[in-house]
Copies of this chain bind each other. A is one copy, B any other.
Amino acid sequence: MKKYVFGVDVGGTTVKLGLFDAQGNVLDKWEIPTRTEDEGSHILPDIADSIREKMKRIDKDSVVGVGVGAPGPIDSKGVVHRAVNLGWGTFSIKDTLEDLLNVPVMAGNDANVAALGEMWMGGGQGCRDLIMVTLGTGVGGGIIIDGRILTGSGGAGGEIGHMHVEDEEEESCNCGNKGCLEQYSSATGITRLANRLLAASGRDSVLRGREVSAKSVFDAVKAKDPLAVETAEKFGKYLGDALASIACVVNPEAIVIGGGVSKAGEILIDYIRPHYEKNVFHGSREVKFSLATLGNDAGIYGAAKLLLDRKRE
């Protein structure tokens, strides 16, 4: 009998849902709004309603379960420990959704789950040990060890955006610390680096007098604008050095770069790789760098895979 699994990616404004077969083919894909009011108490019931609606059209016994990715620390038992974007406190996503749907549920942090998705069907296919870094508004990370998510003791595994990389920083990161990787290598961080360089000198640049963004910086890098190139160099050093440190811990086969910033393409890797190779332990030098290929769907793929890989109790 054909088996089906649902993959759910809970975001701050929309919930993405996908129906997959066990081979990773997406059969259906849709979205519902995320209702964050009332401490996010409607989110899981809304998801359950939407899945129940789809289940009407397939044999209920063929549904293996539901995987969920959500922003925030989620431990290996499926308990979320505060997800501020969703209004959630601490409770079991797994137990709550299992009670609503009466099928097995697994839950994980969205960045970790996206890494699992890229390993399964995306830029990390064929790898069992993988680092994924998501360069968006922040820097998210997901570490896959021997095919499984590194969850960590409290669900904060793979939080590589908050590695300390700069002692001299004076502005605070969202997390409260100073000098986090996220402050230099996210879309916001790249913009900040460029604006700092623009402010520090009167140097000519195509970026001057326009709104600076990660996209405009890398467009200017492609046009060989010196100030943009200097920005990209700084970005690449922070990220390449950090990835080298992570690789000393993890010894990965592949490093996958995703998130909005990765739309700049292979040029991104050109700025990261030299710093990585200079500083990494020789046992991890031969890593494969690749760009994520699943885009915004990485979360639903990974959530489905998380459920398929669950250990049966």
B281 near A156 (CB under 8 angstroms)?
A: yes
List chain B residues, Cβ under 8 A from A143.
249
In whole angstroms, how far apart are the Cα atoms of A155 and B129 in the complex?
11
Question: Which listed residue, B128, B145, B281, touches A150 by the CB 8 Å rule?
Answer: B145
Question: Which listed residue, B150, B164, B245, touches A250 by the CB 8 Å rule?
Answer: B150
CB distance from A51 to the nearest CB of B (A): 29
Contact with B along A225-254 (1 / 0, CB 8 A): 000000000000000011011101111110
How many identical chains are in the complex? Answer: 2
Q: Does A202 contact B (CB under 8 A)?
A: no
- Count, chain A residues at interface, CB 8 A: 46
Known: A152-B252, A175-B282. A164 touches B73 (CB 8 A): no
List chain B residues, Cβ under 8 A from A81.
283
A146 near B151 (CB under 8 angstroms)?
A: yes
A281 near B76 (CB under 8 angstroms)?
A: no
Give A237's nearest chain B residue, CB to CB.
B167
In whole angstroms, how far apart are the Cα atoms of A282 and B155 in the complex?
12
Question: Which listed residue, B73, B163, B179, B248, touches A283 by the CB 8 Å rule?
Answer: B73
Give A128's nearest chain B residue, CB to CB.
B153
Contact with B along A172-194 (1 / 0, CB 8 A): 00011101000000000000000
